[in-house]
Structure 1
């Protein structure tokens, strides 16, 4: 394998530095750009020669899932490795469905990150054994989806924050949205899921392991 040109997209500089340090032990890997928002990442992928994008899902502005979709739309040959603080149960299947080539959590071992980058750079998918089983289950189940799987990516993001106990204003600030927009998402997702209250939503999320206890 020749040099692998990398873009790191994460809104925390200390995380980007940590990724740099881990990948510095892999001589073929060259970090050519960094981004702190989804829009920055999208612009850099369009204008720089990038072989792999390492992408966080929780960045301000353009959501991580939307960033994945737009990079895949504009630069379909550039694989995206999602490196997220969120557990596989929360976001991994959605990320792969959106076009990501792999998914790792930030508590993964450093050598696993190196292996994942090498794998997606070669054109392969990189998923853990647990995620592979989950994807197989999703395929087998077909169109019989759970309530939270009917939500759009942004509705799903708001739903998780609601289930964790955040109030509307807190969610608006976290996602850089207006309070009115968050209220619209809240009403829409509760209707889609046929859930009547935030407390009931939290119980649902705990039951399906979408949030930690």
Structure 2
């Protein structure tokens, strides 16, 4: 049976490079390309695919909603996330949201070949590093929840909102009329709960779960 792959990425050079590499690895494969979420959903209503190689940052839609639609309307299609994001930080979360695999954009040709083989033969793929992380989290009973942001308190959400807006700890202290040491404590707590180290990572978590901050 001829394998059918849909590459969804808003960068043409990424689509071209990945397409050429996949063709080299699996010459008989049929490949289609889209550059945004709307086109992705449109083509799924017209053609059948075995695998979607999906970037998580594209225009005309959002990742979580699109993934949910794919899984509900096209349950037989496997979804391999293809992202430049930190694998250790995001891979498990994407898998819990319904993705079938995660492949980093800096993956070698050998890794891409292995990922495709696993996706077609087993229906899933994660790297050995991610497997180790999942085992570690399981042993330490620290498996991320479906939506980790839900564990934040109201005050922690306020602090997160202002950090994302670029406010300093001093600015937040003045804005909320609380001591700067308290702001620092809240920041430490929410970073620990979300398992992030920096504000950019915090922003990615909120973007991932489509949390709108006022």
Whether TM exceeds 0.5 here: the answer is yes
**Contact 2:93 / 2:144 at 8 angstroms: preserved in 1?**
no
Counterpart CA distance in 1 for 2:49 and 2:66 is: 15
SS in 2 for 1:83: strand
Q: CA deviation at 1:162?
A: 8.4
Q: CA deviation at 1:140?
A: 4.4
Per-residue CA deviations over 1:106-149 (Å, capped at 9, x if unaligned) read 00102211221221122332101111122234444557758x82
The number of residues matched between the two structures is 174
Over aligned residue pairs, what C-alpha RMSD do you find?
3.6
Question: What is residue 3 of structure 2 aligned with on the other side?
Answer: 4
1:30 equivalenced with 2:30 (yes/no): yes
**Contact 2:160 / 2:187 at 8 angstroms: preserved in 1?**
no
Question: What is residue 91 of structure 1 aligned with on the other side?
Answer: 90
Counterpart CA distance in 2 for 1:85 and 1:117 is: 18
Q: CA deviation at 1:4?
A: 1.1
Larger Rg: 2
TM-score, normalised via structure 1 length = 0.67
**1:1-213 mapped onto 2 (5 Å cutoff):** 2-25=1-24, 26-31=26-31, 33-142=32-141, 149-151=148-150, 196=183, 200=187, 204=191, 205-206=196-197, 210=201
TM-score, normalised via structure 2 length = 0.67
Task: Call closer, same or farther: CA 1:161–1:47 in 2, change over 3 Å.
Answer: farther
Per-residue CA deviations over 1:6-47 (Å, capped at 9, x if unaligned) read 10000111110111111121213220x211112221222232
